[in-house]
Each structure stands twice: as structure tokens, then as C-alpha cells.
Amino acid sequence: CGKCTPCRIGSVRGMKVIDRIRAGENREANLVLLEELCETMVDGSLCAMGGMTPFPVQSVMTHFPDDLTA
């Protein structure tokens, strides 16, 4: 719904960070940033939808890290 800041800003920022990771821009630092962003969204979102939005991203980071490369 975009009501809370973690969702509204976090989801947009997350896509930008993923794009930078895929482009190879400072990959390790951006992976750390993405993980922290996901944790913030899970912990800070007001509803279950926002709290669950990062789960697919976290799953890819854990199980398919090669998919985050260009």
C-alpha cells in the first residue's frame, strides 16, 4: 500500500541496489546494503505484505547468488 516508509522507500531502493549489483558496481558493499535493507523492511513494515516482500530477495541471495550477477 506504500503507507509505511520501509515499504514505500525500501522497495524502490531495493530495486536500485539490485540493478547496481547486477551491473557489477561495488558488488560486495551493495550485497551488504541489500541484506540490511531487507532486514529493515521485515522488521519495520506495518503489515505482513511489507514484511514478506523481502523474502524472495533473501531467498535468491541465499540459494541462487549467481543470479545476481550480470
User: What pLDDT score was predicted for residue 20?
Assistant: 95
Radius of gyration of the chain, Cα coordinates, nearest whole angstrom: 12
Asked if 42 contacts 4 with a C-beta cutoff of 8 angstroms, the reply is: no
Higher pLDDT, 1 or 55: 55
69 located within any domain: no
Query: In which domain, by residue range, is 53 found?
Result: 5-63
Which of 20-35 are b and which e, b meaning 16 or more Cβ less than 10 Å from the residue's Cβ?
A: bbeeeeeeeebbebbb
70 located within any domain: no
* pLDDT(70) > 70: no
User: What pLDDT score was predicted for residue 28?
Assistant: 93
Can you read off the three cell numbers belonging to residue 7? Answer: 515499504
Q: Give 5-54 pLDDT, tens digit per residue.
A: 888 899 999 999 999 999 999 999 999 999 999 999 999 999 888 889 99
Task: Identify the DSSP state of 32.
Answer: H
43 located within any domain: yes
Rounded CA-CA distance 57/38 in Å is: 8
Q: Domain total for the chain?
A: 1
